[in-house]
Amino acid sequence: MKKFNYYILGIALVSSSCSKYLDKDPIGILTQEQVQVDPTEGTVRTGIENAYRPLSYTLNIYGDWDWAGGLVIRPDFLLEDIASGDAMKKWSPDGDQAWMDDVANYNFTPENGAFAGIWKYNYEGISRSNTAIFQLTDLTTLAALKLPEAQRTRLLAEASFLRAFFYCDLVKLFGDVPLLLKPLSNFNEAYEVAVRANKTDVYAQIKEDLKAAIAGLPNSRFASESEKWRVSKGAAMALAAKVALFEENWKEVIAQVAAIEQLGFYDLNTNYFDAFDESKAYTEKENIFIYDHQSGMQPSRGNGFTALMGWGFMAPTTNFLNAFEAGDPRKESTVNVADQIIYKLLGAKNGNFKGNDNSPVNRIFIRYADVLLWKAEAYIKDGQIAAGIAIINKIRQRARAGNNSILADRPATTDANQAMQWLQHERRVELGFESHRLSDLKRWNIAKQTLVSFGKPFADKHMLYPIPQAEVDKTVGKISQNEGY
- CATH, domain 1-216+447-473, list 3.40.50.11270, 3.40.50.720, 1.25.40.390, 1.20.1560.10: 1.25.40.390
Is pLDDT above 90 for 11?
Answer: no
End-to-end Cα separation, the chain, in angstroms: 43
- Of 188-197, 226-235, 342-351, 373-382, the least confident: 188-197
Average pLDDT on 467-475 reads 93
Per DSSP bridges, beta strands 196-197 and 177-178 are antiparallel
pLDDT tens, residue by residue, 403-444:
666 899 999 999 999 999 999 999 999 999 999 999 999 999
Range 223-231 contact pairs with CB under 8 angstroms and sequence separation of 24 or more: 223/154, 223/158, 228/282, 228/292, 229/52, 229/290, 229/291, 229/292, 229/362, 230/158, 231/157, 231/158, 231/161, 231/162, 231/289
Q: How confident is the model at residue 40, as a pLDDT?
A: 86
- Residue 458 sits at φ, ψ, to 5 deg, of -70, 130
pLDDT tens, residue by residue, 35-77:
456 788 888 999 999 999 999 999 999 989 999 999 999 999 9
Average pLDDT on 257-277 reads 97
% the chain with pLDDT above 90: 85
Q: What's the 3-state SS for the chain?
A: CCCCCCCCCEECCCCCCCHHHHHCCCEECCCCCCCCCCCCHHHHHHHHHHHHHHHCCCCCCCCCCCCCCCCCCCCHHHHHHHCCCCEEEECCCCCCCHHHHHHHCCCCCCCCHHHHHHHHHHHHHHHHHHHHHHHHHCHHHHHHHCCCHHHHHHHHHHHHHHHHHHHHHHHHHHCCEECCCCCCCCHHHHHHCCCEECHHHHHHHHHHHHHHHHHHCCCCCCCCCCCCCCCCHHHHHHHHHHHHHHCCCHHHHHHHHHHHHHHCCCCCCCCHHHHCCHHHCCCCCCEEEEECCECCCCCCECECHHHHHHCCEEEECHHHHHCCCCCCHHHHHHEECCCCEEHHHHCCCCCCCCCCCCECCCEEEEEHHHHHHHHHHHHHHCCCHHHHHHHHHHHHHHHCCCCCCCCCCCCCCCCHHHHHHHHHHHHHHHCCCCCCHHHHHHHCCCHHHHHHHCCCCCCHHHHCCCCCHHHHHHCCCCCCCCCCC
- Does the model's pTM come out above 0.85? yes
Q: Are 113 and 69 in contact (CB under 8 A)?
A: yes
Q: How confident is the model at residue 36, as a pLDDT?
A: 53
Q: How confident is the model at residue 26, as a pLDDT?
A: 34
Cβ of 187: how many Cβ atoms within 10 Å? 20
Nearest to 483 by CA among 186, 267, 196, 124: 196
Grade residue 259 by pLDDT with cuts at 50, 70 and 90. very high
Q: Are 286 and 275 in contact (CB under 8 A)?
A: yes
Q: How confident is the model at residue 328, as a pLDDT?
A: 95
Grade residue 5 by pLDDT with cuts at 50, 70 and 90. very low
Nearest to 195 by CA among 462, 11, 447, 425: 11
pLDDT tens, residue by residue, 302-331:
999 999 999 999 999 999 999 999 999 999
ω into 299 cis (within 30 of 0): yes
As a whole number of angstroms, the distance between CA 30 and CA 9 comes to 9
pLDDT tens, residue by residue, 131-179:
999 999 999 999 988 899 999 999 999 999 999 999 999 999 999 999 9
